[in-house]
Structure 1
């Protein structure tokens, strides 16, 4: 029988602290060991360890998501894990701590401390998830005693870029991204890849899996991982095209936002002022509608292809996207052109073998020529006409929607915006709204943006009027959520949803669905695809401005009311 002392601690100190302690105590008893657990909670330290108990202990376990003072355990054999690991896999945690032979289990190594880690975070918009993931990983690494340097690939490019020295000295590389990230510079390093949403919601789990499952990039995989990779193969196949699409959207988004806002600014001088040549309104419309919106689809197609085939896909993708514009195939045509260009270019790159003397011609002449020829002829003779018909039919259908159908569409788009707050479903609704802007259909975009604002706004209001249902940290986070909601950054709701998904997410979906339905029913329109409340100040950018504000307010109140009903008061909340 082994005498173990343990410390459990989580950021809020309410649930995970106590759940982890109870799981460890029950499991230790079943295995015939004795464990004394100190719980560090929001109410202070419960059941503190005495000096005698620490001196008697044979091993020490720290199950924590925040930094815990380890100095009093100096000289003791120590293991570390997250509270979620202790809750979900207490048997495994204790077995690893006590040195049991579990070689056939790909489990997180509890004793890996003091690692030097580099990471790259990237999301399609490069606004919220990118930086939230970076912050979450930094905090988790610091709590576990690791050093972590993060490169954020945001909408303005790479910030805090990793140097060659950083990469060379790294024990581990983590790529948390939903878009294409060039990993060639990490050849020979241990690399682990995850979705950016996972890094935001479960940074400790990402770190643990990275330490256990990272593989050397460019090296053969260990045999025991082949079964794991085979099990994940079908999922990877499904997520691949989605990732390529989001890469294209991420590069297209700044162009859409700039173009949409410039078009909206042209309306300041009157809704038809741009028709008079030589005026500032005409110039703004020319820049926004005549230039920015014209290259939107080619950029989308080009970078979808780039994500699939890297640089060889860029030329055929851009050209295929421009053909989609010329053939009136629009956004859908650009998507088809991008995927076709990417897969054709990648196939040519992999299959064409030339003598060494001619190899330099492949990337600059042979692949661009052949891939552009295939994509161009395919768009002109096969794809362009039917896709153009689909776009025309879709535009006509949306323009002729009756009130009932418009409300149903608003309900659907609004609910989708709150399902995963920046994830695949949210981005699908947003991409749908953006794609219709180029056709002059602006009501769905209004519903999408309004519905994306209400989740953080509803949560912020709930933390003010139902304070006893939120921890002090959550009430403080509510202030930031208000600003994020006003700025149309739906991701501001993620920290709340991650802690209590069963109650928070349904509340957010209900409020966003109501907002989307009201926006469509009241005939609201929006010329700009982003900007939140700041767009409302631009004259004529929003159609039926008062009704639009009412839709946002109504959804916010519905979200707040649902949260108040579903969330229960916390015990002994200050």
Structure 2
């Protein structure tokens, strides 16, 4: 059982390691374009400079590859090269139906294990040559595509139900509403559940109720900042790749890009996601108690100029980050860092033999 869990984590880490550069490209370029342009009340990020628009577009396109790359390389880790193409297809479909990175993880495992199973088939020698480039990718893509389309409708219905539920709560339950929305923002970090809370907060601005977006703006930045802070506080609990991703996550959090925390959540969802949800829920509750209002459909410290009750906004972020970073570092164990000299010695031995 322990060996199987270790294998699953290894496959996840394969996907995450290839996904991290994509998130860094997308997150940093989007963050820079917004940071150099600023935000405006009622409109959010206001990128108009032609060069910055192109920079933002490059970042958006990179972000569009995030889920397909995650799914593709999870499948690659499981089934080797025949798993890559169906994994990419499954990840693209997960993005299309709004299933986010969690849907990408499902797509990667479905594609990978399907491809691995088809690889085990005993087939005539005449067909064996075309199995890796034709039969395995094609059949695997059909299977993962079918699974993604089956889960698409329930996800859509769930989103509609959650939106209706949030609207029904009204302003009387402002703290409870903030806790729920903060939790939703952190749960899938840019995925469908996150989007429901974000769109609801944004729609309330148009109706003149900016105090709903205030807690959302706090929750948006807590996951990436918390993970960046966590890697600085307890570096032994993170791989070299994760420590580098932590630096990028800090920058993304300051600009309100929740996706900066996704590499950590994808690599260790059981420990990371609950920690981030807890911190975001606490931060959002503090923002609601402090009647924080955000007049721009965006989040993070970058919206401070258009926020009411700025001190409470900052306090909510600081407390939320502290809660998440502390929890995740309590839950995570130290990782064994590879010694580069050890790798070099292994390579030399391989050459000699």
Shift in CA distance, 330/389, structure 1 to aligned 2, threshold 3 Å: farther
Tell me by how many angstroms 1:261 deviates.
Answer: 3.0
For structure 2, list consecutive stretches of 5 or more residues without a partner in the other structure: 199-215, 235-244, 251-273, 325-353
Tell me by how many angstroms 1:277 deviates.
Answer: 7.3
Report the counterpart of residue 403 of structure 1 in structure 2: 175
Contact 1:317 / 1:342 at 8 angstroms: preserved in 2?
yes
The whole-number CA distance in structure 2 between the counterparts of 1:235 and 1:446 is 35
The whole-number CA distance in structure 2 between the counterparts of 1:331 and 1:388 is 16
TM-score (normalised: structure 2): 0.55
Which SS does the other structure have where 2:53 is aligned? helix
2:110 corresponds to 1:340: yes
2:222 corresponds to 1:447: yes
Shift in CA distance, 351/321, structure 1 to aligned 2, threshold 3 Å: same
Shift in CA distance, 278/244, structure 1 to aligned 2, threshold 3 Å: same
Structure 1 counterpart of 2:51, from 280, 284, 301: 280
Tell me by how many angstroms 1:264 deviates.
Answer: 2.9
2:142 corresponds to 1:377: no
Contact 1:457 / 1:556 at 8 angstroms: preserved in 2?
no
The whole-number CA distance in structure 1 between the counterparts of 2:65 and 2:176 is 35
Residue pairs, 1:197-276, within 5 angstroms: 234-267=1-34, 268-271=36-39, 272=43
Residue pairs, 1:485-504, within 5 angstroms: none
Tell me by how many angstroms 1:316 deviates.
Answer: 0.7
Structure 2 counterpart of 1:310, from 80, 85, 93: 80
Contact 1:293 / 1:438 at 8 angstroms: preserved in 2?
no
Which SS does the other structure have where 1:328 is aligned? coil
Which SS does the other structure have where 2:65 is aligned? helix
Shift in CA distance, 317/553, structure 1 to aligned 2, threshold 3 Å: closer
Which SS does the other structure have where 2:120 is aligned? helix
The whole-number CA distance in structure 2 between the counterparts of 1:343 and 1:407 is 38
Cα deviation digits, residues 28-56 of structure 1 (max 9, x gap): xxxxxxxxxxxxxxxxxxxxxxxxxxxxx
Cα deviation digits, residues 152-206 of structure 1 (max 9, x gap): xxxxxxxxxxxxxxxxxxxxxxxxxxxxxxxxxxxxxxxxxxxxxxxxxxxxxxx
Residue pairs, 1:313-324, within 5 angstroms: 313-324=83-94
Which SS does the other structure have where 2:55 is aligned? helix
Shift in CA distance, 394/254, structure 1 to aligned 2, threshold 3 Å: farther
Report the counterpart of residue 239 of structure 2 in structure 1: none
Which structure shows the higher strand fraction?
Answer: 1
**539-548 vs 443-452, which deviates more?**
539-548
Which structure shows the higher helix fraction?
Answer: 2
Cα deviation digits, residues 83-129 of structure 1 (max 9, x gap): xxxxxxxxxxxxxxxxxxxxxxxxxxxxxxxxxxxxxxxxxxxxxxx
Contact 2:226 / 2:321 at 8 angstroms: preserved in 1?
no
Which SS does the other structure have where 1:353 is aligned? coil
Tell me by how many angstroms 1:256 deviates.
Answer: 2.6
**Which gives a bigger RCO, structure 1 or 2 (Cα 8 Å, sep 6+)?**
2
Report the counterpart of residue 346 of structure 2 in structure 1: none
Contact 1:306 / 1:314 at 8 angstroms: preserved in 2?
yes
Tell me by how many angstroms 1:242 deviates.
Answer: 4.3
The whole-number CA distance in structure 2 between the counterparts of 1:284 and 1:387 is 32
